[in-house]
Amino acid sequence: MSRRPLIAGNWKMHKTPQEAQDFIERFLSFSCDGFDCDVLVIPPFTSLDRAGKCLLESSVFLGAQDMHPAASGAYTGAISANMLKSCQCSFVLAGHSERRHVFGDTNVVVNEKLQAALSNDLRPILCVGETLEEREADRTESVLEEQLAGGLKDVSELDLAHVVIAYEPVWAIGTGKTATTEQAQDTIAFIRAWIETRYSETASEAMRILYGGSVNPANAKSLQAQPDIDGALIGGASLDPDSFAQIIAEAMSLQGDDDPC
Ligand code: 13P
């Protein structure tokens, strides 16, 4: 089964509405439409509405960085799924490592957000990844198992078809330290095998699993060449439209390439 790659730019806490518009206008001028992949931008909440309007005529998807599981209510500072959808969002991150480590999102909270996203027809991107300390203590697999089992608790195989997983080793985020292609491939293959054990071979073969952590135009092609890597979740290098477009072009330059390595 061939999985359609997804290349996503997580802007984190960057870009005002005007800056988002400037980015999108420049990015759309590159016409990445020719590539056989899905492209997604994930601006901060305050830029979603403007970004959604700028993307209306394009095939680029819009996503949010987080959401609250409740539909509405006394949750100061929070944003609901419906609010995201009113801005044309179709994806939402769940459990990004910065949400886990800076804001204290537990696996239980991540699961509540993921379930609420699914019930509201938003496609959640479940982010998982180990810290350097956990990798060095040989705990990568057990940490990932906990994050996967917790994040996907009570998610049916039918619903799983709408989920994307992003493997982002915490030690590679914003550090310039990318996982080697082998580390990324091996860990993502482990995640895929976990899906097969918990769900089915069909679910595992269909699951899009992205790599994130210091992806840039220079390493995008070799990461994407790995058999289990289905795209990228990019932070810093997605803030510049030229660099984001270059990453897409590099990653997708594998198409029709006999010897991608
Ligand atoms: P960097 O690409 O800046 O390492 O960030 C990765 C990330 O956290 C994307 O969600």
User: The domain spanning residue 125 has which CATH number?
Assistant: 3.20.20.70
Instruction: Let me know if residue 97 belongs to a domain.
Output: yes
Enclosing domain of residue 249: 6-255
Condensed to tens digits (0 to 9), the pLDDT of residues 63-104 reads: 999 999 999 999 999 999 999 999 999 999 999 999 999 999
Tens digit of each residue's pLDDT (9 = 90 or more) over 187-223: 999 999 999 999 999 999 999 999 999 999 999 999 9
Q: Is residue 142 assigned to a domain?
A: yes
Distance 209 CA to ligand 1 centre (A): 15
Residues whose CB is less than 8 angstroms from the CB of residue 161 and which lie 6 or more positions away in sequence, other chains included: 203, 206
Which residue among 40, 92, 165, 168 is best mutated to probe the pocket of ligand 1, counting the most ligand atoms within 8 A of its Cβ? 168
Closest of 223, 222, 142 to residue 190, by C-alpha: 142
Is 19 part of the annotated catalytic residue set?
no
pTM to 2 decimals?
Answer: 0.95
pLDDT, tens only, 135-150: 999 999 999 999 999 9
What values do phi and psi take at 100, rounded to 5? -70, -45
Residue 129 located in a structural domain: yes
Q: pLDDT tens, 33-63?
A: 678 899 999 999 999 999 999 999 999 999 9
Phi/psi of residue 185, nearest 5 degrees = -60, -50
Between the CA of 72 and the centroid of ligand 1 the distance, in Å, is 30
Q: Tell me the CA–centroid distance for residue 211 and ligand 1, in Å.
A: 10
Is 136 marked active-site? no
Confirm whether 246 is domain-assigned: yes
How many CA within 13 A on the CB side of residue 127? 27
Residue 202 lies in a domain: yes
Ligand 1 atom nearest 174 alpha carbon: 4
With respect to residue 260, please indicate whether it lies within any of the assigned structural domains: no
d(CA 146, CA 161): 20
Whose CA is closest to atom 2 on ligand 1?
Answer: 235
In-domain check, residue 261: no
For residues 188-197, one letter each, b for 16 or more C-beta atoms within 10 angstroms of the residue's C-beta and e for the rest, the string is: bebbbebbee
CA distance 205 to 235: 26
